Structure 1
Amino acid sequence: MFNYIIRRLCYAIPILIGVNLLTFTLFFIVNTPEDMARAHLGDKYVTEQAVQHWIVDKGYDQPLFFNNAASGISTLTDTIFFNKSLKLFAFDFGASDEGRNIRSDVANRMGPSLALALPSFIIGIWVNITVALLVLMFRGSKLDRFAVGFFVTLMSVSYLFYIIFGQYFMAKAARLVPVSGFNDGIDGWRFLILPILIGVISGIGAGARWYRSLFIEVSGQDFARTARAKGVSETGVLFHHILPNAMLPILTGVVVVIPTLFMGSLVMESFFSIPGLGSYLLDAIRAQDFAIVRAMVFLGSVLYIIGLILTDISYTWADPRVRLK
């Protein structure tokens, strides 16, 4: 197990370098240092001298990848890529282009993101699996056909519709919850009820439909038919045979997502003014703050790789026949 984890971590290094390199290249294709300087200083009444001063002050006056004016190893180290990107592997996120400490911002904004993402994730999984199991118990009936059509309908509705609909009826019309905002005090739950509810409801269509298809595939295997032939009730087959044997694909889709919950939701946090990492990244993209975008993409890649490793490890818990060597 230990050797397997070490191998996976070693494989992750070139992947992270590739993601970092791709992000770096794409960002500077879209934005030049001059564009970034004018975005921060403002387009009006900005002199060329002020733009060049900003570029030099932020370290964007060096070549991107290769410094032909230098010699030896300095051809690689005296570049923007080396000074801005490779420090991320030591989790040194540095400062944003506005001078804010990125590591402190991430630490402060991680709490609101988790406060929204974790309940939505846990409740959503429980609801989707429960609904799929209930529908499976009535497989082939009118209820089953209605449920499948309802799932497809929910999948067809735009995510923004759920947000706008919920904000208008539950917040503005009924005044049950605030329209937007966030409070980390004792009454902060009032600001999270609506986005969590929207996150759960909007995911029922795709989630329950996927779990239903998974359970149907497992229910047609030999062990399930053998259990029915021995007189086991359909409920017993469902909970004692189908559900345990469906754990591997369930874990594949669930465990890998857990680390990425730290990254928050771009759309949800923006619409509900929640100061999480999702809105933090979106604000950085709008402001063309490459330091924040680079750090957040790198952090997201690291968390996703951790999720893949946790998924493989969880297989050994769900199925003892799986062994990692």
Structure 2
Amino acid sequence: MWQYVVRRIFIGFWVLLGVSMIVYSLIRMAPVDYVSTITSGNPEVTQEMIDNLNELYGLNDSVPEGYAKWLGGVVQGDLGTSFVEKQPVAEVISSKMWYSFWMSFPAYILQILIAIPLGVISATKQYSKTDYAVTTIALMGMSLPSFFFAAILQRIFSQWLGILPLSGMKTARIDYEGFALMLDMAKHLILPVMVLTVLGIGGLMRYCRTNMLEVLNEDYIRTARAKGLSENKVVYKHAFRNTLIPIVTILGGMIPGLFAGAMITEGIFGIDGVGYTALNALRSGDIPYIMGSTMFMATLTLIGTLVSDVLYGVVDPRVRLK
């Protein structure tokens, strides 16, 4: 087990190195950079001022030279300073990732509580009206674009009914403190959590249903039924426990994504998380933050994959990680 983990960490290091090279090259080849963004439309800006700004932000360096300087800073524990936020990238990410977490975590829990039971019910009542209804709802959730569904919720609950905030993290011009502030922020997160939950349950539900159907067709399930066990014991004691093995690995792989943010959803609802900040950084050509957030997400993805593999070996002792 430990040899497998060490080897995966070693491979992950080279994967991150390759990702950083590709991302940095793509950013530098983009048609818009930070200096052109902040100077465009200003007739008082001279070419000399632009050249000085390019020199200041390191945009005059070639791609290999710029990447070498960035990598040298990373080796020393410095991800650079965000052009837009004017703060170290590590501090920006560490402060904003908790906004993303508190938006994603409730959606993650709700997806588990809704999708897994629906998947089990759909599998045990295959080709019934219940199965068709659950499958239709799941497919609708998977097919809806997040921006479209978010706009519908905003129109209904914010503009028509007026019971939920349209966007933002807290009510403007009101200084809540303590528990009142927590309630206000929770009220603002209801709509984005609904978006993430509805759009996320479809895939998990279908995955649970497919695995449940495979288990229900196994020989030991038919043997359990032939012994006279009740259907509840057959489904929940024998079939469901074995269905959880691959599902646990999927859920383990989703955990690091709680900190990575949801770029489109955060942008629509004005949640100042990692994803929303990354969207603004992409628009303005903020190279340090784009690189830092991309490597942060890539690292979380590798950790999630590793945790998923380890969990599979934990929940199923028959699996040996080599």
TM-score, normalization by structure 2: 0.90
User: How many Å apart are 1:182 and its aligned residue?
Assistant: 0.5
The whole-number CA distance in structure 2 between the counterparts of 1:105 and 1:279 is 12
**Contact 2:122–2:131 (CA under 8 A) maintained in structure 1:** yes
Identity %: 27
3-state secondary structure, aligned to 1:246 = helix
Amino acid at match of 1:162: F
Partner of 1:74: none
Segment drifting more, 281-290 vs 84-93? 84-93
Tell me, in whole angstroms, the C-alpha distance in 1 between the residues paired with 2:306 and 2:144: 34
**In structure 1, C-alpha distance between the alignment counterparts of 2:271 and 2:145, rounded to whole Å:** 21
Amino acid paired to 1:241:
H
Matches within 5 A, 1:45-194: 45=43, 46-65=45-64, 79-89=65-75, 91-98=77-84, 99-183=86-170, 185-187=181-183, 188-194=185-191
1:309 and 2:306 matched: yes
Q: How far apart are 1:280 and its partner, in Å?
A: 0.7
Larger mean Cα displacement after TM superposition, 88-97 or 7-16? 88-97
Q: Contact 1:159/1:202 (CA < 8 Å) preserved in 2?
A: yes
Equivalent residue letter for 2:42 = K
1:174 Cα offset (Å): 1.5
**2:4 matches 1:8:** no
Contact 1:88 1:295 survives alignment (8 Å) = no
Tell me what 2:173 maps to.
none
Contact 1:85 1:294 in 2 (8 A): no
Deviation at 1:106, TM superposition (A): 0.9
CA distance in 1, matches of 2:94, 2:214: 43
> What secondary structure sits across from 2:259 in the alignment?
helix
Query: Which shifted more, 87-96 or 238-247?
Result: 87-96
The runs of 5 or more residues in structure 2 that have no matched partner are 171-176
Q: Higher relative contact order by CA 8 Å / sep ≥ 6: 1 or 2?
A: 2
Deviation at 1:152, TM superposition (A): 2.7
Structure-2 change in CA distance of 1:207 and 1:88 (3 Å): same
Please say which of residues 149-158 and 128-137 is displaced more in the overlay. 149-158
Q: String of CA shifts for 1:103-154, please: whole Å, max 9, x gaps.
A: 1111111111100011101111221001111222322322223332333333
TM-superposed CA distance for 1:278, in Å, is 0.7
| Structure 1 unaligned residues grouped into runs of 5+ | 66-78
Structure 1 residue 37 corresponds to structure 2 residue 35:
yes
Contact 2:123-2:210 at 8 Å conserved across structures: no
Aligned counterpart, 2:26: 26
Question: What is the one-letter code of the residue matched to 1:124?
Answer: Q
Residues in 1 aligned to 2:310 and 2:260: alpha-carbon distance in whole angstroms: 22
TM-score of the superposed pair, with normalisation by structure 1 = 0.89
Structure 1 runs of 4+ aligned residues shifted over 6 Å read none
